A and B are shown apart, each in its own frame.
Chain A
Amino acid sequence: MDLIIQQSINAISLGGVYAMLALGLAIVFSIVGLINFAHGDIMTFGGYGIFLSLAFGMSPVAALAIGIGAAVVMALTLERTAFRAMRGADVVTLLITSFAVSEILKVLFQNTISARPVPISFPAAWSGTYEIGGATIGVVPTVSIIVAFVSLLGLTLILRRTATGMAMRAAAEDLEMLKLLGVRANRVVAMAFALSGLLAGIAAVIWTAQRGSVDPMMGFFPVLKAFIATVLGGLGSLGGAVLGGFVIGVLEVLTQAFLPDGLSPYRDAIVLALVIAALLWRPDGLLPAQNANRS
């Protein structure tokens, strides 16, 4: 019983990270058609933000804020320097652009900071545990679940209830038309990147709190999973991205917990194979994006 509670907490907390990353990818994709390979590097940059502020002797809370801020700044910088010039290009071109940007950023991280993991030490109290009904549950996974849900809820409110959110949803339908209506498209796109950076920053905080170190590839692997999550959910669908993120997180924890030892090296392969099998059954994803395409 307690094993089940522990594993579900782990599953939801990992799923929450994937969901936030996938949602960040989906927001940007739905508006400018960019599948952002550099999203992982935005997350990594957030991690280095935390590392550097701690190294300069800041308080842990300030360091977290700076880490999140660093991710937002990085997202906005990439939008302004690399992706704005490419606006309107087709999906493949944009994807390759971000692929190139991502490779360059990784080399920059390797050369300016370190190719090896650098440690991040948070106060010991943060990594404590507490007990519910005999089950030992970590503080970090619990906090990360709360943070993930609050972020997802907050984002939903922004998209549904504010004028900016409405402009972003309109931009996802037709960016050109929005320009003709006099809405500043650049601001809307920048806002989308800022939000995706914010989510990546929060993900970086959770990730570093759990792993205790940052390396140039830190963001890359979770974002790979988040890519798969966006496709599983339905590319361009925000709800689908969140759902896909949770599904992959849960699958990963389940396979880790219940797979026989002989198969454990194949964990990632099995999870991905399951996802691809799901795509055979629903090629447009679990919650397909609505798009009216008249012939």
Chain B
Amino acid sequence: MGDANLLTFPARLRAANLVRTLVCLVVLAVAVAVLTLVFGRSGERIAVQMCVNVAAVVALGVFCGNTGIVSFGHGAFMAIGAYLSGILTMPAGIQRTSLPDLPAFLAGHELSLWTALPVVALTGLVFAAISGTAIARLMGASAAIASLGLLIITHGVAVGAREITRGSQTFFGVPRVVDLSLAFGAAVVFILLARAYRESPAGLFARAARDDDAAAAALGINPRRTRFVSWCLSGAMCTVAGALYGHMLGAFSPASFYLSLVFAHVAMMIVGGMASVGGAVTGVIGITLLQDGVRQFEGGVEVFGVALPEVFGLTTVSLGLAILLVIWLRPTGLVGRFELGPGAGARIFERISRETSPARAPARVSEEILEAEQLSKSFAGVKAVDHMTFAAPTGRVTGLIGPNGAGKSTLVNLITRQYHADGGKTLLSGRDLSTVSAENVARAGISRSFQNLRLFQGLTVYENVLVSALAAGHRGAQAAAVALRELRAFDLGDLAATRADALSYGARKRLEIARAIAQEPVILLLDEPAAGMNPAETDDLADRLMQIRDERGIGILLIDHDLHFVNRLSGWTVVMHRGTLIAEGAPDEVRADPAVIEAYIGRGRTAAAITRTTKEETLPQQGVRP
């Protein structure tokens, strides 16, 4: 793929996104056309159902795909949508006989579907906001189970509230107004909405938080809020899809929205691929065809003269097997990790040759100073950081060294509020940062890299950096320009459209720093940026960092075990041992400090002996940590 061209013609990225949306729509349109043209009336019925399912599953995917959390709760939203829309649109005559005890504020509205839908969507949004305050706090499997709890709660209420829902009896009299054009139109609108959200800054933030919660927070993204926003949008969309489902069925009961429906929709999403809108569409089409094919055999059928017995639940088994086969053979789903459609480097985009205006050269930051005062943190009685006081001003690289376990990474985590300090505070030019959230530390102008790589694995290299620029407050084309500028600065242009988890180790390390720099920070905290790099790569990194320091005047707090590397860059060295400050000063002075030598080598060898035997050598280099 000609990724390098993306740096010159970023418009191709946007074009690729458009084409991918088109591909989703075309796939659906072709499936609908084939069904209706080949199978006539029965095909049209299947097509209507398929389109409504596309709407529901695409809505489900807005939450699941962007946050990585499987939700079983959207059946609750569908039930609310179906019942509410049913009650609002029902002819008053039928309503009086079927729901005699309906509360007055719900009775006798006789709205048309189009006036009912906004009410339904709004109700769904309110319900999503209420349930989302709880569910957005949870992650992974806990959130999935909590959403299952939501489904059970809603089902229980639907069965219990007899005067509104007729309990577990059939709820009938809902106008069957969903025809093929309405269902297809709804599916198209939902696909457009889902695609737009996925590629929007909010969707990008959600996907970043999905891949790494802590790294997203360190960029100033609030992971909980991204889950909440996705949940609300997805919930409101699901409620509308539920209303359509209800108007398609005409009569339903709480069981229609319970586990079997949820199971079918989750299966469609997983089979197609959870991470993309194209996956949801493909999954629905595939499973619908499979189910309708299998249904022919459910009532018992004769195959080649052999009468097969009636098998109850054959469609369920086929769904289960489809999920198992897809998960075993293709864990990311039929569509895989990317959206369906050509990548930005594909040949069809070669005509697009509009260049973007390059980002302005980074401005020099104003003079600020990061100060730690008496910072302390204990883990179960071990004083990891003990009354540390030091300063890192802009315009200088401050080296932070010390043996393994000295508390250096803990100190960085205290400054960025990944950990909460037991005592002491951090100040940025006098502003107290020791009570704000991790996101606000980032917004104050402090960005960081992580000792153990924390990239957004499911995003491309370009998106990794773009997220950072967007989170720092750049908008639209300007964010893109900043992202491209930093990619260029760290020689990652050729890899722009590659997924981060496909990079080599050295490129990942550089990408982490590029991501941090794209925030245009005042202070940059680098936790072992050169660990695991070979000497040539380390030298290259040092050159790039010096250039950044000189061009932008930012302050860098540099932790590393490679003392040549640290000494080459730093104007000031701080030495930690067992959580406390044991020395600080110009690199040359610190190097000769007996306390420092003792910390690294241990008692018994005097400083003089060390300087005599090693002469020009600096302190013995510690082994490279993996």
Residues of A within 8 A of B (CB): 29, 35, 82, 85-86, 89, 91-93, 95-97, 99-101, 103-104, 106-107, 110-111, 115, 224, 227-228, 230-231, 235, 265-269, 272-273, 275-277, 279-280, 283, 285, 294-295
> A265 to B153, Cβ gap below 8 A?
no
Instruction: Tell whether A92 pairs with B316 under 8 Å between CB atoms, given A265-B160, A269-B160.
Output: no
> B148 to A95, Cβ gap below 8 A?
no
In the bound complex, what is the Cα–Cα distance between A266 and B157 (angstroms)? 6
Overall SS of chain B's interface: helix
Which of B134, B274, B316 lies in contact with A107, CB distance below 8 A? B316
> A104 to B214, Cβ gap below 8 A?
no
**5 tightest CB-CB pairs across the interface, nearest first?**
A265-B160, A107-B313, A269-B156, A100-B320, A100-B323
In the bound complex, what is the Cα–Cα distance between A261 and B70 (angstroms)? 36
Residue-wise interface mask of B (156-179) relative to A, using a CB-CB cutoff of 8 A (1 in contact, 0 not): 110111100000000000000000
For window 317-343 of B, CB contacts with A under 8 Å fall at 317, 319-321, 323-324, 327-328, 331
- B residues within 8 A CB of A91? 140-141
Instruction: Tell whether A97 pairs with B137 under 8 Å between CB atoms, given A35-B145, A92-B144, A272-B153.
Output: no
In the bound complex, what is the Cα–Cα distance between A101 and B328 (angstroms)? 13
In the bound complex, what is the Cα–Cα distance between A265 and B159 (angstroms)? 8
- B residues within 8 A CB of A35? 141, 144-145
Instruction: Tell whether A269 pairs with B157 under 8 Å between CB atoms, given A92-B70, A110-B313.
Output: yes
Report B318 CB to chain A, min CB distance, Å.
10
> A230 to B145, Cβ gap below 8 A?
yes
- B residues within 8 A CB of A99? 263, 266, 323
6 pairs, CB–CB < 8 Å, chain A vs chain B = A35-B144, A97-B323, A107-B320, A227-B148, A279-B146, A283-B142
In the bound complex, what is the Cα–Cα distance between A107 and B154 (angstroms)? 25
- A residues within 8 A CB of B331? 89, 93
Asked if B152 is at the interface of the complex by the 8 Å CB criterion, the answer is yes
In the bound complex, what is the Cα–Cα distance between A261 and B427 (angstroms)? 59
> B450 to A103, Cβ gap below 8 A?
no
For window 457-511 of B, CB contacts with A under 8 Å fall at none
In the bound complex, what is the Cα–Cα distance between A273 and B568 (angstroms)? 59
Q: How many residues of B contact A (CB 8 A)?
A: 52
Report A144 CB to chain B, min CB distance, Å.
24
Asked if B519 is at the interface of the complex by the 8 Å CB criterion, the answer is no
Given contacts A110-B312, A279-B137, A294-B409, 20 further A-B contacts (CB under 8 A): A35-B145, A89-B327, A92-B69, A92-B70, A95-B70, A95-B141, A96-B323, A100-B327, A227-B145, A230-B145, A231-B146, A235-B141, A266-B157, A268-B153, A272-B153, A276-B146, A279-B134, A279-B138, A279-B142, A283-B138
Report A271 CB to chain B, min CB distance, Å.
9
Instruction: Tell whether A107 pairs with B312 under 8 Å between CB atoms, given A100-B323, A227-B145, A276-B134.
Output: yes
> A294 to B452, Cβ gap below 8 A?
yes
> A111 to B313, Cβ gap below 8 A?
yes
In the bound complex, what is the Cα–Cα distance between A277 and B69 (angstroms)? 20
Q: Max chain B CB contacts within 10 Å: which of A103, A230, A265, A295?
A: A295
In the bound complex, what is the Cα–Cα distance between A268 and B153 (angstroms)? 7
> B134 to A280, Cβ gap below 8 A?
yes
Q: Which residue of A lies closest to B413 (CB)?
A: A295
Q: Max chain A CB contacts within 10 Å: which of B146, B162, B267?
A: B146
Q: Max chain B CB contacts within 10 Å: which of A97, A99, A100, A111?
A: A100
- B residues within 8 A CB of A82? 324
> A104 to B317, Cβ gap below 8 A?
yes
In the bound complex, what is the Cα–Cα distance between A266 and B165 (angstroms)? 14
In the bound complex, what is the Cα–Cα distance between A82 and B328 (angstroms)? 10
> A295 to B452, Cβ gap below 8 A?
yes
> B319 to A100, Cβ gap below 8 A?
yes
Instruction: Tell whether A103 pairs with B142 under 8 Å between CB atoms, given A86-B327, A110-B313, A280-B134.
Output: no
- B residues within 8 A CB of A107? 312-314, 316-317, 320
Q: Which residue of A lies closest to B264 (CB)?
A: A103
- B residues within 8 A CB of A231? 138, 142, 145-146, 149
Residue-wise interface mask of B (202-215) relative to A, using a CB-CB cutoff of 8 A (1 in contact, 0 not): 00000000000010
Report A238 CB to chain B, min CB distance, Å.
16
> B328 to A115, Cβ gap below 8 A?
no
Asked if B68 is at the interface of the complex by the 8 Å CB criterion, the answer is yes
In the bound complex, what is the Cα–Cα distance between A88 and B320 (angstroms)? 21
> A101 to B146, Cβ gap below 8 A?
no
For window 239-274 of B, CB contacts with A under 8 Å fall at 263, 266-267, 270, 274
Q: Which residue of B lies closest to A235 (CB)?
A: B142
- A residues within 8 A CB of B267? 100
- A residues within 8 A CB of B138? 231, 279, 283
Asked if B150 is at the interface of the complex by the 8 Å CB criterion, the answer is yes
- B residues within 8 A CB of A106? 313, 316
- A residues within 8 A CB of B316? 103-104, 106-107
Report B96 CB to chain A, min CB distance, Å.
24
For window 539-588 of B, CB contacts with A under 8 Å fall at none
- A residues within 8 A CB of B70? 92, 95-96
Instruction: Tell whether A228 pairs with B145 under 8 Å between CB atoms, given A104-B316, A266-B160.
Output: yes
Residue-wise interface mask of B (401-424) relative to A, using a CB-CB cutoff of 8 A (1 in contact, 0 not): 000000001000100001000000
In the bound complex, what is the Cα–Cα distance between A101 and B267 (angstroms)? 12
Instruction: Tell whether A276 pairs with B150 under 8 Å between CB atoms, given A110-B313, A111-B313.
Output: yes
Which of B153, B156, B266 lies in contact with A96, CB distance below 8 A? B266
In the bound complex, what is the Cα–Cα distance between A228 and B418 (angstroms)? 29
Report A37 CB to chain B, min CB distance, Å.
10
Asked if B611 is at the interface of the complex by the 8 Å CB criterion, the answer is no
- B residues within 8 A CB of A277? 134
Asked if B451 is at the interface of the complex by the 8 Å CB criterion, the answer is yes
> B312 to A111, Cβ gap below 8 A?
yes
Q: Which residue of B lies closest to A29 (CB)?
A: B141
Q: Which residue of A lies closest to B72 (CB)?
A: A99
Asked if B133 is at the interface of the complex by the 8 Å CB criterion, the answer is yes
In the bound complex, what is the Cα–Cα distance between A230 and B144 (angstroms)? 12
- B residues within 8 A CB of A89? 327, 331
Instruction: Tell whether A97 pairs with B327 under 8 Å between CB atoms, given A111-B311, A266-B156.
Output: yes
- A residues within 8 A CB of B159? 265
- A residues within 8 A CB of B317? 103-104, 107
In the bound complex, what is the Cα–Cα distance between A29 and B140 (angstroms)? 13
> B156 to A265, Cβ gap below 8 A?
yes
Q: Which residue of A lies closest to B215 (CB)?
A: A295
In the bound complex, what is the Cα–Cα distance between A11 and B246 (angstroms)? 40
Q: Which residue of A lies closest to B160 (CB)?
A: A265
In the bound complex, what is the Cα–Cα distance between A89 and B324 (angstroms)? 13
- B residues within 8 A CB of A228? 145, 148-149
Which of B68, B320, B328, B452 lies in contact with A86, CB distance below 8 A? B328
Asked if B225 is at the interface of the complex by the 8 Å CB criterion, the answer is no
